[in-house]
């Protein structure tokens, strides 16, 4: 049971299964003493809430997202949501929904929104991280950028979690699986567990 979980958590837009959410909460809570949590790809904040609750009494979550949607969220694509489309700008905009959900969960003092891309934010990043959760763009270029930008900032014993792992290409995109395999083959990480499509590794 996760304390203070919002009653409407299942209505928040997102693509996170309940067993994956519980695993994120558990690992964020355990990693919190090692350093802040950094989430890459917050969308409307569903996963951010689980991470934020895990850090509520002594940690910080940096929620990094440009809030313009991934490739699959754009107009005409499979996961496009018209409710998250700013017709005036002609762009996806998830930031208002994200902020609203974080505020309703009472996590404004725990979650720090970072509205930009990995490449821009990582350029001068210096804070060691206790956990990194990668759930951003699912093109190979985007996934590789997220992996290369943030894994170097994980402390020894820190957790790397990667969402949407599909070993079978018929089941889903292969970019997250590619960086998961890259992490294992680097010799810098060991596998901790797999929960549904979430892979969890530890920095050696």
pLDDT tens series, the chain, 204 aa? 898 999 999 999 888 999 999 999 999 999 999 999 999 999 999 999 999 999 999 899 999 998 776 666 656 556 665 655 566 665 668 899 999 999 999 999 999 999 999 999 999 999 999 999 999 988 999 999 999 999 999 999 999 999 999 998 877 779 999 999 999 999 999 999 999 999 999 999
Catalytic residue among 66, 138, 153, 163: 138
Name 58's Cβ contacts closer than 8 Å, sequence gap at least 6: 32, 33
pTM: 0.93
**What's the sign of the alpha-carbon dihedral 121, 163, 192, 22?**
positive
DSSP 75: T
Tokens of 131: 């956990």
CB 169 within 8 A of CB 176: no
Asked if 138 is an active-site residue, the reply is yes
Q: Left (φ > 0), alpha (ψ -120 to 50) or beta: where does 82 sit?
A: alpha
DSSP secondary structure letters along 145-202 = HHHHHHGGGEEEEEEEEE----SSTTTS-SHHHHHHHHHHHTTSEEEEEEETTEEEEE
> What CATH architecture applies to the domain 9-203?
3-Layer(aba) Sandwich (3.40)
């Amino acid at each position: 049971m996760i304390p203070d979980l919002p009653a409407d958590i299942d209505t928040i837009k997102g693509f996170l299964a309940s067993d994956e959410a519980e695993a994120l909460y558990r690992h964020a809570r355990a990693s919190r003493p090692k350093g802040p949590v950094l989430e890459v790809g917050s969308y409307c904040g569903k996963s951010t809430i689980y991470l934020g609750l895990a850090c509520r009494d002594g940690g910080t979550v940096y929620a990094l997202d440009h809030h313009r949607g991934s490739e699959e969220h754009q107009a005409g694509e499979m996961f496009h949501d018209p409710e998250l489309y700013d017709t005036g700008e002609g762009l996806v905009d998830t930031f208002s929904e994200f902020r609203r959900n974080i505020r309703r969960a009472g996590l404004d003092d725990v979650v720090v929104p970072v509205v930009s891309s990995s490449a821009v934010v990582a350029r001068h990043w210096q804070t060691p991280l206790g956990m990194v959760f990668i759930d951003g763009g699912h093109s190979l270029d985007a996934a590789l950028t997220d992996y290369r930008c943030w894994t170097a900032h994980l402390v020894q014993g820190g957790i790397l979690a990667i969402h949407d792992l599909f070993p079978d290409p018929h089941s889903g995109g292969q970019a997250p699986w590619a960086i998961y395999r890259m992490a294992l083959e680097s010799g810098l990480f060991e596998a901790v567990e797999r929960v549904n499509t979430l892979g969890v590794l530890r920095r050696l």
